[in-house]
Structure 1
Amino acid sequence: MRFCKKYTLLFFSLLIFPLLYYCGGDKDPRSKIETRTWEAMGTQISISLCSDDKNRQAALFDEISSRIIHLETILSSHMADSELNKLNNLPVNQKMEISNELWEAVDAGKTWNIKTLGTFDITAGPLIKMWKAAGKNRLLPSDMEIKRGLKNMGVDKIVLEGSGTNLLKKAEVSIDLGGLGKGYTADNIITLIKGHGETSALVAMSGDIRALGHRPDGKPWRVGIQDPRFPENPDSLVTVVELADMAVSTSGNYRRYVEINGSHYSHIVDPRTGLTAENVPSVSVIGPDTLTTDIMGTALSVLGVNEGTKLVESMKGIEAIFMEVDNAGELMLTRSSGYGKFETYNDTGN
């Protein structure tokens, strides 16, 4: 049996700081969990793997690297020749044969639009582009621009046909998978790792983390969630959670925002109104996989504490912690009823 001889806390906010976990049996105390990082999909990806076979471990990392590149060419909205952008350029009422990965991602987006009461919408592409342009030009969008952005939205305008092969656009919709792409990719990587017989790994993509099994010492993986008031200080943890075969995602406007006339506007857009989501500076979601937690993080940021908590409590296997800052600069926390069973550290007293 292999066990962890030395470990430390993995810090998590909206960025991941990769660490090495030293583990091994009595015959090889020098062996260690290998951690590698990639820059892809507009973020840093960090993956920690512990394996009894270092050659197999190295080969698996190579395969993971190829998988990341493959998924980026499918899901990216920034690559001009990605499969997603080819789909977005497709004329109305014309079918396109798509990959299994893009089918799964779009199908998940359609399904979760209903589950999240319309607060998660993969057809919000025009609104996202509009607010990015507003930030670049330092000028708020007009009511007319917002109405124009809302006009061609709606997951009902995307039709998946056949047994996972064809997609038909019924209107000039623009699909943006930024709200689920990282979560989908992390889950895909975990499936790949499990397929090679490995049982201990951690995949971290910016604010989305998926834990496979336990750490080599048999304990759950530990993930620290940062105080949104101090985004530049990774040591300012509010809470630490323990995860085994679970995922956690954090969404918020304290790191990613556009600034216009001295005011900050969230990068998350409410697809129902076209306005930015300003209800919650930070929300962290725990769930069975990163596709779920990634999507729910966005939805809860839009819904806010009261409606968001109701939605979480209505769902099985999902927990969340909302972080707000009052006028005095004090942090206010709201936890779902089952969040506490994952929490091992709380530095706020509330």
Structure 2
Amino acid sequence: MAAVFRVKSAVYPIIFDGMESVMGRWRRGSFVICVVLFLTGCSAENRTQKALSEPDILSAEREIFAMNTYMTLKAYGEQPEAAFDDAVAEINRLDGIFNSENRESEVYILNNNGSEVLSEDSAALMEKARDLSDSTQGAFDITIYPLMEEWGFTNPKYQVPSDPRIKKLLGTVGNEKIKYEAKEKLAELPEGVKMDFGGIAKGYTSGRVMDIFREHNLSGGVVSLGGNVQVMGSKSEHSDWKEISSYIKSDYRISS
């Protein structure tokens, strides 16, 4: 019995030492696991707090009626409403200059008086219109306004003109009939000749709206001015725009 006891007593310490070794490793392993889980939890918590603390990119949209059409402005970034206010003011200002039906506009005065000293905006469009006419061999022509009036596009009196009437009015059409002194910004029209910036005014205006969006440090924006679409920057999720239906040309951002 004593021998057995001694054997057992000799064995017991071995078993105990082994168990103690295993338990020690288990405790150390458990401690390491706890530390890892704790640090992982802290890291996840920090990432969550960081994500929550980052300001969300705001977006806003505004619709207006100007230049005889409906317009939609959408912007991404902080304080987009302030940018909208400035953009709408600029749209209305340009509408007051380019609108051929507004008795106080430069275009109306030019058409009815035969001469007018143009502002910087009208001068920019006049020069661009002449360039486009040259590059398209006369296909782009801002002097077709008498035909637009005859068809009733400038008022609700729509009609189909007779062939003799159309032929007569075509005699007043032609960009070469406009006399323009770029240095003085003086434009002159012969009797019967009238012009309209409708083909490029909205493209020019959308370019000005984009300039205003940039001045307000917006991250992105899209404007649709009666079907003339222009974009800048990126959308709220920082993805690129997939489709653009505008045609932008030169520094003046003239769109068709």
> Considering the TM-score relative to the shorter chain, is it more than 0.5?
yes
8 Å CA contact 1:157–1:171 kept in 2: the answer is no
Q: Deviation string for 1:236-266 (max 9, x for gaps)?
A: xxxxx2x4xxxx24xxxxxxxxxxxxxxxxx
Note the 1:211-226 alignment, pairs <5 A. Answer: 211-222=231-242
Distance 1:51 1:220, change over 3 A: same
Of residues 76-85 and 190-199 in structure 1, the stretch that sits farther from structure 2 once superposed is 190-199
8 Å CA contact 2:75–2:220 kept in 1: the answer is yes
User: Partners in 1 of 2:53 and 2:87 — Cα distance?
Assistant: 29
Q: Deviation string for 1:213-258 (max 9, x for gaps)?
A: 2213221224xxxxxxxxxxxxxxxxxx2x4xxxx24xxxxxxxxx
* Greater gyration radius: 2
Distance 1:195 1:159, change over 3 A: farther
User: Partners in 1 of 2:74 and 2:226 — Cα distance?
Assistant: 14
Tell me the matched-pair count: 205
User: Partners in 2 of 1:115 and 1:162 — Cα distance?
Assistant: 19
8 Å CA contact 1:180–1:291 kept in 2: the answer is no
Note the 1:48-197 alignment, pairs <5 A. Answer: 48-52=74-78, 54=79, 57-91=80-114, 95-132=115-152, 139-163=159-183, 165-197=185-217
8 Å CA contact 2:152–2:159 kept in 1: the answer is no
Distance 1:143 1:75, change over 3 A: same
8 Å CA contact 2:57–2:77 kept in 1: the answer is no
Note the 1:13-52 alignment, pairs <5 A. Answer: 26-27=52-53, 32-52=58-78
8 Å CA contact 1:204–1:210 kept in 2: the answer is yes
Distance 1:176 1:69, change over 3 A: same
Secondary structure at the counterpart of residue 26 of structure 1: helix
One-letter code of the match for 2:65? E
User: Partners in 1 of 2:156 and 2:180 — Cα distance?
Assistant: 35
One-letter code of the match for 1:39? F
Secondary structure at the counterpart of residue 107 of structure 2: helix
Structure 1 position 167, deviation (Å): 1.6
One-letter code of the match for 1:106? M
Return the TM-score normalized by structure 2. Answer: 0.71
User: Partners in 1 of 2:159 and 2:75 — Cα distance?
Assistant: 46
Q: Which has the higher helix share?
A: 2
Distance 1:88 1:28, change over 3 A: same
Distance 1:81 1:137, change over 3 A: closer
Q: Deviation string for 1:142-184 (max 9, x for gaps)?
A: 2221122111111112222143632222453101122112111
User: Partners in 2 of 1:82 and 1:63 — Cα distance?
Assistant: 21
User: Partners in 2 of 1:171 and 1:220 — Cα distance?
Assistant: 50
Secondary structure at the counterpart of residue 89 of structure 1: helix
Secondary structure at the counterpart of residue 113 of structure 2: coil
Q: Which has the higher strand share?
A: 1
8 Å CA contact 2:142–2:199 kept in 1: the answer is yes
Structure 1 position 51, deviation (Å): 1.8
Identity in percent = 25
* CA-atom RMSD in angstroms: 2.7
Distance 1:31 1:68, change over 3 A: same
Structure 1 position 102, deviation (Å): 0.9
1:293 aligns with 2:243: no
One-letter code of the match for 1:126? P
Distance 1:208 1:137, change over 3 A: closer
- The equivalent of 1:207 in structure 2 is 227
Return the TM-score normalized by structure 1. Answer: 0.53
One-letter code of the match for 1:159? K
Which sections of structure 1, spanning at least 5 residues, go unmatched?
Answer: 1-24, 223-240, 250-285, 295-350
Higher RCO (C-alpha 8 Å, min separation 6): 2
Distance 1:103 1:153, change over 3 A: same
8 Å CA contact 1:100–1:164 kept in 2: the answer is no
- The equivalent of 1:274 in structure 2 is none
Q: Deviation string for 1:125-152 (max 9, x for gaps)?
A: 011111127x966753122211221111
Secondary structure at the counterpart of residue 53 of structure 2: coil
